[in-house]
Amino acid sequence: MSADRLEIYGKRVKNIHFIGIGGIGMSALAKIYLSKGHIITGSDLRLNDLTDELKRLGSVIFEGHDALNVPPDTDIAVRSSCIGNDNPEILQAKKLGVKIISRGELLRMIILEHDLSVGITGTHGKTTTTSIISHILHICGKTPTVIIGGEVELFNGNAKLGGGWIAVAEIDESDGYFRNIRPKCAVVTNIEREHIEHYGSMENLTEAYKEFARGISKDGFFVFNGEDPILRSFREELRARTISFGLDGEFDVSAKHVKFDKFIEFELNAKGARSRRFTSSLIGRYNLMNILAAVSVCLEIGLSSAEIASALDSFSGVKRRFDIIGTAKGVKVVEDYAHHPTELNSVITAARRYNTSGRIISVFQPHRYSRTKDLKREFSNCFYSSDILVLTDIYSADESAAEEIKIENICRDMDKTRFEKVVFLRKKDIPEFIRETAKQDDMVLVLGAGDIREVSGKIIDRIRRGTLHVPSCGRLI
């Protein structure tokens, strides 16, 4: 659909302003509409590589929020879920009479434009699953429109405008709007306690997922993690055809003769599909589950197991998902976006199986005060596959600081005798501590969804330079 024919709420749209454009979801939508020929402007408190790419492609991006950032000829304004009603650009858009919509609303419109849409959500694994599905379809010549909550090398980022009839989109569940999105095919990777600051209870969160699943039409299909008891309970209530995937049990799509140490290798076991050996450079049981979800979708779309296996073999992963940043003096530094206890345990456990000759040094920055408070017991039990644990200050995201929530909330119930060392450090002091502590063959995991990624390159540089200063800034916990 060309830019001059797009209508939103009955209004012909050309100029779109994004408030909070630097986020992974917002920047993806901006890139799609920029590729469609729209004039894109936007703002964010902090610019990043995503906003740099949008500027290179022709967008006008402002650092900081100001009423003057909103062009007078703006047709619609799109707001990130973290943008408050008192934001000066929100107030200016209202003053100009500009229609303001949410990120979720714009994503819903993209999905409605396509004959076949695949929407992926869940507590863990949705970014990797979305990326694998998109990669396989692209390699197999299906030219999908792609919207991902992470950066993939094949698409030079987190989004790509496709050929018109297939869309593959990661659907964020954090603000509840996903209940209104109706893809032809829905994938739910799992459901765990998360975003309780929005939903209020696990019961409300479960009901939101159920509402999303019920929205899939009877001519669509619902792919779900058959190992998840909550998702299994949905099956009888849905109009859509259901397809289960999993490892430990009887499922529509599963794997046998499995290896997932330094890579993943398995034999596909799926109804109606030829058994075939699959390989992937990804690691860990959790990624095998992501692969099975993706394979389930691609088989249902009509690809053969041979086509899927060949395409999967070339998938190299997602940025910040067990992303090996570099090696210095035999020490590997790996970034991962994991920030929920289940994700952290899965990544650290997989790293332990991958790196058998050295220690695992986990560096974790908690993300949000509300999550740290709500899941403090789970956080205290998820790091035990590490040899050394380094914790730093909580990344607040858009939340106000809470004095009663501290790193000690995580450590209070932790059995610290199971580690060589547990230490708290300011973020700026982490590289020197790692340089002094790490040994050849160790792996350093830099974990979290905030700005902890900023230390990865500094760790590598500090190890390579090999300075002799011994830090005294840390405190044992």
Per residue in 123-139, pLDDT tens?
Answer: 999 999 999 999 999 99
Residue-wise pLDDT tens digits, 245-262: 999 889 999 999 999 989
Lowest mean pLDDT segment, chosen from 18-27, 51-60, 418-427, 466-475: 466-475
Tell me the average pLDDT of the chain.
Answer: 93
Pair of tokens at residue 60:
């006008």
Strand arrangement, sheet containing 360-364: 323-328, 331-336, 443-447, 360-364, 388-391, 421-424, 475-476
- Which range of residues forms the domain containing residue 229? 114-312
Angle, CA of 387, 389 and 392, to the nearest 5°? 170
Average pLDDT over residues 28-47: 96
Output 196 or 471, whichever has higher pLDDT: 196
In-domain check, residue 452: yes
In-domain check, residue 317: no
CATH number, domain at 23? 3.40.50.720
Question: Domain total for the chain?
Answer: 3
Predicted confidence at residue 472, as pLDDT, reads: 46
Phi-psi region of 218 (alpha: psi -120 to 50; beta: other; left: phi over 0): alpha
8 Å CB contact between 292 and 258: no
Distance CA 197, CA 175 (A): 10
pLDDT band per the 50, 70, 90 thresholds, residue 6? low
The answer, yes or no, to whether residue 471 has pLDDT greater than 60, is no
**Phi and psi at residue 310, in whole multiples of 5°?**
-65, -45
Distance CA 221, CA 187 (A): 9
Does residue 435 share a domain with residue 380?
A: yes
Pair of tokens at residue 312:
């999967």
Give the amino acid at 317: G
Contacts of 450-454 spanning 24+ positions with Cβ under 8 A: 450/339, 450/365, 450/367, 450/395, 450/397, 451/365, 451/395, 451/427, 452/363, 452/364, 452/365, 452/392, 452/395, 452/427, 453/320, 453/335, 454/427
Average pLDDT over residues 385-401: 91
Distance CA 151, CA 320 (A): 8
Does residue 362 share a domain with residue 281?
A: no
Predicted confidence at residue 469, as pLDDT, reads: 39
Does residue 90 share a domain with residue 10?
A: yes
**Phi and psi at residue 196, in whole multiples of 5°?**
-70, -20
Which of 42, 75, 102 is at the close of a domain? 102
The answer, yes or no, to whether residue 234 has pLDDT greater than 90, is yes
The answer, yes or no, to whether residue 4 has pLDDT greater than 50, is no
Does residue 327 share a domain with residue 280?
A: no
What distance, in Å, lies between the first and last C-alpha atoms of the chain? 57
Question: pTM of the full predicted structure?
Answer: 0.93
Contacts of 269-272 spanning 24+ positions with Cβ under 8 A: 270/295, 270/296, 270/299, 270/305, 272/299
Does residue 186 share a domain with residue 91?
A: no
